[in-house]
A and B are shown apart, each in its own frame.
Chain A
Amino acid sequence: MLSRRALIASGVVGAAALPALAERFADLALPGGPSARPLGPIFPQKGEMIVQRVHPPLLETPFDVFDTGVITPNDRFFVRWSGGVMPTSIEAKAHRLTVRGAVKQPVALTLDEVAGAGETIEVMAVNQCAGNGRGLQEPRVGGAQWAHGAMGNARWRGVRLRDVLDKARVSSNAKRVRLAGLDTPMIDGAPQFIKSLPIDVARRDDVIVAWGMNGDMLPLLNGYPLRLIVPGWFATYWVKMLSDIEILDTDVDDSYFMAKTYRMPAIPVAPGDKDFPTVPISSMPPRSWITSHAQGARVARGRPIELRGIAMGGDAGVARVEVLAGGKAIPATLGRDEGTLGFRRWTLSLPPIARELVIGARCTNANGVTQPDVQAWNPSGYARNVVERIMLVPA
């Protein structure tokens, strides 16, 4: 497996070794396979992406992009639409964001009214799919078979959600804020992709309705014209093409994507377990990756190894990153904090190695939560955050 896995070093292998479906493939090295994914077709406003599914689009960021900096460029940012019909055009003047439900004054805001609802702010934050890394979990489970690239970090620009909510004068008994976008189910009667947040999360200082991403407008595939940004929480709440907000006066949201899926076991479970209690997936745990070297990378003998990577604290900032090597935990040097809930660069110069060495990066966040050595298995493959390891080979 090692040589095959080593191919992720480049992220790319030639078509000759793999089924002839497209010119170029990525090898995701998923345990047990299948691991080959086409790097085409190219989607509008996007560069080369790992195409997990053309329709509806599921596009993964090639891993080498994460070595280029803490910001994930818009044209390489992952894309995940649920199974339904996503609009392919937006008429700016016609778009409305409605705020209704437990409010004193329901409103239907134009895009200009949304942009004028409050102070324009910018927030850097990691957007990560709950199922990022699902394809790496063993025993394997069904769902989108992502490797590490269902995540990205951007500077999001918009207005606070609470300023938008205040336009409708939310009633004092509001409990949850339910969000819907323009995408609809394929067949009538199937559940619409709607999600809800507790009101105190919705009113947070850094929860915004964004139109800007890394200094440009959101690409349509990433949710233009408006997308909810919930720093520290999984991407399932970051509703795209936001068009409707319903204020609920109850703590219980029984809609499908809250009540039946996107849920984590409330207790440790093993494959085959049934009928255990679950809770909605919500905030993210800390994670980190080595980006300078891939599995099986060859390093020059007798020379220090310049390691580089990225870390995220999840729902808190990054406190420290250590590289685990040969039974030791060596502290890495953190790069500048460019945004507490964004990616953070780390570097470490590792002493020369004489034989193969397995190393991993381990992040601890500002709440004192540390990445585990062993992944707790769950039936949906959510919230992977085990220490990711690679082997270095002296050459």
Chain B
Amino acid sequence: MKWALPILLLAVTACDQSPAVTFTDVSITLPEDKGAFPDRPGRQAMIANCAGCHSPSMILTQPRLSEEHWKSTIKKMREVYKAPINPADEPDILAYLTSGEAAAQ
């Protein structure tokens, strides 16, 4: 267990006679996401378009941002991440994103 000792003044420490490492199988179960979009106008459009890839908290933790910023976010979701966002839902999505806790402060 030589390697576990404090390492003085050295960024790199050689571990001679290092114990052979054993890689085991590891499996985890990720917790369920209980987060949800709070109810306000546009919520249905958010559920339909913005809930598939990440938790609502990705969106709900954002600070107050301009409508222009949110338009570019929607564009990025669609063009870079290939999100199937319904163009007809965009006004509702924007209304939702520019209202709410951070936006109201």
CB-defined contacts of A144 to chain B, threshold 8 Å: 58, 61
The residue that B102 contacts in the complex, of A21, A33, A231, with Cβ under 8 A, is A33
Which residues of B pack against A, CB within 8 Å? 3-4, 6-15, 18, 20-21, 23-35, 52-55, 57-58, 60-65, 69, 73, 80-83, 101-102, 105
State the CA gap A191–B52 with chains docked (Å): 17
Interface pair B8/A337, CB less than 8 Å apart: yes
8 additional contacts, CB 8 Å, given A144-B58, A185-B82, A337-B9? A92-B26, A115-B20, A122-B12, A187-B53, A187-B83, A217-B24, A220-B26, A336-B8
Instruction: Compute how far the CA of A339 lies from the CA of B8 in the bound complex, rounded to whole angstroms.
Output: 7
Cβ–Cβ contact A34 & B23, under 8 A: no
Q: Which of B14, B21, B63 contacts A212 (CB 8 A)?
A: B21
- Whether A76 sits at the interface, judged by CB under 8 Å, is no
Bound form: Cα–Cα A152–B6 in Å:
18
On whether the beta carbons of B53 and A124 are closer than 8 Å, the reply is no
**For B61, what are the chain A residues with a Cβ–Cβ distance below 8 Å?**
34, 37, 52-53, 144-145
How many interface residues does chain A have, given as a range? 35 or more
Asked if A124 and B32 sit within 8 Å, CB to CB, the answer is no
User: What chain A residues lie within 8 Å of B12 (beta carbons)?
Assistant: 121-123, 205-206
Instruction: State the CA gap A189–B84 with chains docked (Å).
Output: 12
Interface centre among A33, A42, A341 (most CB of B within 10 A): A33
* CB-defined contacts of A336 to chain B, threshold 8 Å: 6, 8
Given known contacts A41-B34, A123-B12, A88 and B23 CB-to-CB distance under 8 angstroms: no
Tell me if A190 and B81 are in contact (CB < 8 A).
yes
Least CB separation from B68: chain A residue: A272
**19 residue pairs A–B, Cβ–Cβ below 8 Å:** A32-B102, A44-B29, A45-B28, A54-B31, A54-B33, A54-B34, A89-B25, A90-B26, A115-B21, A120-B3, A120-B14, A120-B15, A124-B11, A142-B62, A189-B82, A206-B12, A217-B24, A337-B9, A338-B6
B20: A residues at CB distance < 8 A: 115
Q: Is the CB of B21 within 8 A of A145?
A: no
Nearest A-chain residue to B102, judged by Cβ: A34
Q: In whole angstroms, what is the CA distance A142 to B8 when docked?
A: 41
Encoded as 1 (CB less than 8 Å from any B CB) or 0, chain A from 193 to 220 comes to 0000000000001100001100101001
* A residues in contact with B6, CB < 8 Å: 336, 338
Seen from chain A, the residues whose Cβ lies within 8 Å of a Cβ on chain B are: 21-22, 30, 32-34, 37, 41-45, 51-58, 83, 88-92, 95, 111-112, 115, 119-125, 135, 140-142, 144-145, 155, 157, 185-191, 205-206, 211-212, 215, 217, 220-221, 224-225, 231, 256, 260, 336-341
Kindly list chain A residues whose C-beta atoms are within 8 Å of the C-beta of B69.
142
Nearest CB in chain B: distance from A95 CB, A: 8
Contact B11–A88 (Cβ < 8 Å)? no
A337–B10 alpha-carbon span in the complex (Å)? 8
Flag if A190 contacts B82 (CB, 8 Å). Answer: yes
* Interchain CB contact under 8 A, B82 and A221: no
- Note all chain A residues with C-beta closer than 8 A to B4: 215
In Å, the complex CA distance between A205 and B101 comes to: 49
Contact partner, B54, options A43, A53, A88, A92, Cβ 8 Å: A53
Supposing A83-B53, A142-B65 touch, asked if A92 and B23 sit within 8 A by C-beta, the answer is: yes
By a CB distance below 8 angstroms, the chain A residues around B21 are: 115, 120, 211-212
Contacts A142-B65, A338-B8: A54 and B23 contacting too (C-beta < 8 A)?
A: no
Q: Is the CB of B28 within 8 A of A44?
A: yes
Q: From known contacts A44-B30, A120-B18, A135-B63, infer whether A92 and B13 are also in contact, taking CB-CB under 8 Å.
A: no
Complex Cα spacing A55 to B102, Å: 21
Residue of B31, B63, B105 with most partner-chain A CB within 10 A: B63
The distance from the CB of B63 to the nearest CB of chain A, in whole angstroms, is 4
Q: How far is the CA of A221 from the CA of B31 in the complex (A)?
A: 13
Q: In the complex, how many angstroms separate the beta carbon of A339 from the nearest chain B beta carbon? A: 6
Chain B residues whose C-beta falls within 8 Å of the C-beta of A42 in the assembled complex: 31
Do B24 and A92 touch across chains, with their CB atoms under 8 A apart? yes
Nearest CB of chain A from residue B10's CB, rounded to whole Å: 8
Chain A proximity of B85: nearest CB distance (Å): 12
- What's the least CB distance linking A41 to chain B, in Å? 4
Taken together as a complex, chains A and B put the C-alpha atoms of A123 and B58 apart, in Å, by 33
Contacts of B8 in A (CB 8 A): 336-338
Residue in contact with B31 in the complex, picked from A43, A140, A215, A217, CB distance below 8 Å: A43
Residues of chain B within 8 A (CB-CB) of A260 are 80
User: What's the nearest-Cβ distance from chain A to residue B68, in Å?
Assistant: 10
How distant is the Cα of A202 from the Cα of B82 in the complex, in angstroms?
32
Partner of A140, one of B55, B64, B73: B64
